[in-house]
Structure 1
Amino acid sequence: MNRQQRMSLYDIQKRAYTEGIVEQINNQWIFFDEETEEAAMLEDYLQQEIEIFRMNRWKKGVLCESGKIRIGTDAIMLRDHDIVRIRKHLIYSLERLLDGINDDAFFQFITTLNSLNFSIFDCIYCYNHLSFLADQQRKDGVNFMVFDNQEQICNVQHHFFYFEKVNDRFEFTLNTGKRLIIEKMIL
């Protein structure tokens, strides 16, 4: 699985974007989050991925200046009340953890998390012990992650052992008491 295939799994995650509308007020573009109704200066998102809903479809681009989205070689000017969505960022420690695990473990973790109705963008806490072992030949320990999808909480423990064999074990525990364990071993 290459980086592009991994990124395509990121793209289909629920809650990967913050959606809302934009308005120009006093010559400044303001983004209004649809879910929280909070307002933010659009310029806070400069050089970030943004999508605009035009002609009944989402067009992906980069906010190159407040009020202008670069889509390939074209530029689209924003209009009042345009619907936009801004790509959320993963928690840094979770992003490093996902980059550090092998493809099979990555795929199994994401698909299991999704099957429980959680997204990687629901992560509210991640302790990545694996990142502290980068210089060691033998790596073993546990990573901790907490996900909140606004309806339930999911705690994930990632037990890993990387030496002569690769062993990844994910233990998912929901606040309802439901538990799920998946394990991937490569000899």
Structure 2
Amino acid sequence: MSNIYRSNILKSQKRAFSEGTVLVDEDTWFFFEIDAEEESELEFYINHEIRLLREDAWITGVLLENGILATPYERIRMLDGDRIQIKKNILFSLENLIEDISDDAFLQFITTLNNLNYSLYDCIFCHNHLVFLSGQKMKQGVNFINFDNGDEVCAVQHHFSYFKKKRDRFEFTLSTGKRIVIENFNL
């Protein structure tokens, strides 16, 4: 699986963007997030990927200072009241974890997570034990990951054993009591 394929999977994840409105107050730009019902300075999101809704179409670009959206073709000045989406970041420890697991394990993990109505962007905690084993030939342990999709919480234990064979076991436990276990072996 190529990095482009993994990148496309990440881009297709639900809740990858926070949606809200641009507010301008005395030369200060704010982002009012709809779901959180709170505002933050737009300056915090400079150099982030932004989508701007204009004429019923989303325009994707990078936020610059003073409410300017830079696209590959033009620079657009946002206006007070504009609807925007700001790309969320995946937790750094989870990002490292999904880079370290095999393509098959990655695909099984993402597919199961999505089928349970969770996204990588719903991650609220990730302990990546693999990071502490980087110099070792035999890697064995457990990673702990928690997700919250706004309706339910999901705890995932990722049991791994990497030596001559690679073994990944993901145990998903939802707050409803539902449990799913998937395993992946690579020779």
TM-score w.r.t. structure 1 length? 0.97
Counterpart for residue 154 of structure 2: 154
The CA distance in 1 between the partners of 2:38 and 2:139, in whole Å, is 43
Aligned residue number for residue 47 of structure 1: 47
- Unmatched runs of 5 consecutive residues or more in structure 2: none
1:75-154 matched pairs, under 5 angstroms: 75-154=75-154
The residue matched to 2:43 in structure 1 has which SS?
Answer: helix
Displacement over 2 Å in runs of 4+: none
Note if contact 1:46-1:66 (Cα within 8 Å) is conserved in structure 2: no
What fraction of aligned residue pairs are identical, expressed as a percent? 49
Two-structure CA RMSD over aligned residues (Å): 0.9
Query: Distance between the aligned counterparts of 1:72 and 1:46, measured in 2?
Result: 16
SS in 2 for 1:172: strand
Residue 69 of structure 1 is matched in structure 2 by 69
Distance 1:72 1:58 in 2: 14
Number of equivalences? 187
Give the 3-state SS of the residue equivalent to 1:176 in structure 2.
Answer: coil
Deviations 1:27-77 (A, max 9, x none): 111110011121111111111111111121211110021210000141011
SS at match of 1:13: coil
**In structure 1, C-alpha distance between the alignment counterparts of 2:161 and 2:140, rounded to whole Å:** 4
Q: Structure 1: which 5+ runs fail to align?
A: none
Q: TM-score, normalised by structure 2?
A: 0.97
Q: What is the correspondence of 1:17-32 to structure 2 with a 5 Å cutoff?
A: 17-32=17-32
Look up the equivalent residue of 1:46 and give its one-letter code: I
Partner of 1:11: 11
Q: Secondary structure at the match of 1:84?
A: strand
Give the superposition deviation at 1:24.
1.4
Q: What CA distance in whole angstroms lies between the structure 2 residues aligned with 1:8 and 1:53? A: 22
